[in-house]
Amino acid sequence: MLFSACSKKESIQTYFVEKHEDIDFTSFDLSAKTLFSNMEELTQEERKKLENISKLNVLILKSDENEKVDQEYAKVSSILGQKDYSSLLSANSEMGSMMMNIKGDDVNNINELVFVGKNDDFGLIVARVLGKQINPNNFYQTLKLTEKMDTEVLENFAGQFGDIQ
């Protein structure tokens, strides 16, 4: 009982904080407003959908060390296997592995969406979308808004990390 009281359950949040300090990882946080600097070009309905998304956190481990990539993927998988998260999608193929999990009261009230993917050529990517009362339909509609996203912002940002493209 003493051990369980002292044990600390790891979360995606603590994983991101820990890896933010790890020099092998590239990390960045973006707000919806950063991604859509052309917000005035969006309709009222499109802006309302974006208001539900507060932040996007991304971790990238570009590594030729497949063992480290596999270890980190297993660690994230373990965290996402906790009862707080529900699986939305998972896939494995010769090209790599990926999964998408959600955290929230139910599938129509998502507070956090986590995507993790890995392959031998790229490495590992973990993306975390934070928001309030996101549901799959609204999330899909929001993803469609990426067509209207000001890609110059991302291109300039990605240019600072030329080696991760």
Quick: pLDDT tens for 100-148.
Answer: 898 876 677 788 889 999 998 889 999 998 887 777 666 666 666 666 6
Residue 2 falls within a domain, yes or no? no
Residue 149 falls within a domain, yes or no? yes
Residue 3 falls within a domain, yes or no? no
Residue 103 falls within a domain, yes or no? yes
Residue 162 falls within a domain, yes or no? no
Please give the tally of structural domains in the chain.
Answer: 1
Residue 72 falls within a domain, yes or no? yes
Residue 126 falls within a domain, yes or no? yes
pLDDT tens by residue, 12-38: 999 999 999 899 999 988 876 776 666
Q: Which residue has the tokens 């993790």?
A: 116
Range of the domain at 48: 9-157
Q: What is the pTM of this model?
A: 0.78
Of 33, 53, 26, 40, which Cα lies nearest the Cα of 134? 53
Q: What one-letter code names the amino acid at 3? A: F
Q: How far apart are CA 53 and CA 138, in angstroms?
A: 10
Residue 94 falls within a domain, yes or no? yes
